Chain A
């Protein structure tokens, strides 16, 4: 199975508390790529039921205007996750974010219940996508098996708060404590052909530090970042959208490689830089990202 939305653009994934009607009624105005409607940590333990009714009606009645609707469900170690899955599928959520994923088996368990819910509520089988949040050392170390666990799985997300607790350290603001997890997860995700998202950045008074972090994780290869505030969306989109200079160079690379290949030439220069076939996929990716971001006006 290959779901048409499995690899859609997901630079910005903004958390919203399902307990708060004021937050979930119109977040599409900020134009994130995805919203993550939260049934887990943001919702008080005695309001888990209330959040589900709000979620159901929001999914059914609010037009989120093309923004992907991800729902973060409660962990498998809680009494809540089974009903969470039922309401997500009944409401027609696009994707379910599995909290505290540690093994492929965790994904399989969720997948089994999602399939049962799709049958119960008459949704097309396989229509609900999954993503896995890795929040522990064990989860991070098992990243590859999680990434390969299901055709429904779109990717993995680092959850830095719980992960650093498990690592017996804290979020320092330097990123040093997250280096290993970030590097390991992006390699695992790419090896399995799925996407990968960085953890949240919670200090809203340090937008300059936030922007540096976004630039860094883009350079590392991440597809995007989990966000906690609408103010962070534009920063992420700016960093992840190719510049006109990058787009023009990528176009030249793709066109030149196609032309030179026909002439039997393997290596040549574009704007003074040595280019060969190894640059082709990267240049195509830049064009694809420019198209997905709505800034491409070329003909490739």
Chain B
């Protein structure tokens, strides 16, 4: 899926993550800020990349500000930002690439 325009999902509240996506230059440029980066940085990065992979996003600038989000929240915020960048809010593939 193409990231067509800048879009954001999530908040800076505790247990949440704010994810911003922008059109990229042919690669994934990922930046992560997290208060638990030393403990969970690898896992956060893996979850974000895996979610982008499922959505077939191959070119995007992605910024994640993590506030202690669970994996399920990270996935939800990445998916929401990517679909928002395509203005898609209905007939979503629940259980397909969203899983």
A residues at B contact (CB < 8 Å):
20-22, 25, 48-50, 52-54, 56-58, 60-62, 82-83, 86-87, 90-91, 121
Q: Are B89 and A83 in contact (CB under 8 A)?
A: yes
Q: Are B90 and A21 in contact (CB under 8 A)?
A: no
Contacts of B84 in A (CB 8 A): 49
Binary A-proximity of B58-87 (CB < 8 A = 1, otherwise 0):
000000000001111101110110011000
Contacts of B92 in A (CB 8 A): 52, 83, 86-87
10 contacts across the A-B interface (CB closer than 8 A): A20-B15, A21-B15, A21-B69, A21-B76, A49-B80, A49-B89, A50-B10, A54-B73, A57-B75, A121-B95
B residues at A contact (CB < 8 Å):
9-10, 13-16, 69-73, 75-77, 79-80, 83-84, 89-92, 94-95, 98-99
Closest CB of chain A to B71's CB: distance in Å? 7
Q: Are B94 and A91 in contact (CB under 8 A)?
A: yes
Contacts of A58 in B (CB 8 A): 72
**Chain B: CB-nearest residue to A22:** B15
Q: Are A62 and B72 in contact (CB under 8 A)?
A: yes
**Complex Cα gap A62–B15 (Å):** 14
Shortest 8 CB-CB distances between A and B: which pairs?
A: A90-B94, A22-B15, A57-B72, A53-B76, A21-B73, A61-B72, A49-B89, A54-B76
**Complex Cα gap A82–B92 (Å):** 11
Contacts of A82 in B (CB 8 A): 90
Contacts of B80 in A (CB 8 A): 49-50, 53
**Complex Cα gap A71–B12 (Å):** 25
Q: Are B14 and A22 in contact (CB under 8 A)?
A: yes
Q: Are B16 and A83 in contact (CB under 8 A)?
A: no
Contacts of A48 in B (CB 8 A): 89
**Complex Cα gap A51–B74 (Å):** 13
**Complex Cα gap A242–B99 (Å):** 43
Closest CB of chain B to A82's CB: distance in Å? 7
Given A83-B89, A90-B95, CB of A56 within 8 Å of CB of B70: no
**Contact partner of B77 among A53, A61, A86, A91, CB < 8 A?**
A53
Q: Are A53 and B15 in contact (CB under 8 A)?
A: no
Q: Are B16 and A61 in contact (CB under 8 A)?
A: no
Contacts of A121 in B (CB 8 A): 94-95
Contacts of A52 in B (CB 8 A): 92
Closest CB of chain B to A194's CB: distance in Å? 29
Q: Are B73 and A57 in contact (CB under 8 A)?
A: yes
Contacts of A49 in B (CB 8 A): 80, 83-84, 89
Q: Are A56 and B94 in contact (CB under 8 A)?
A: yes
**Contact partner of B15 among A25, A60, A91, CB < 8 A?**
A25
**Chain A: CB-nearest residue to B76:** A53
Contacts of A25 in B (CB 8 A): 15, 70, 73
Contacts of A20 in B (CB 8 A): 13, 15-16
Given A22-B16, A49-B83, A82-B90, CB of A56 within 8 Å of CB of B98: yes
Contacts of A87 in B (CB 8 A): 92, 94
Contacts of A91 in B (CB 8 A): 94
Contacts of B79 in A (CB 8 A): 53
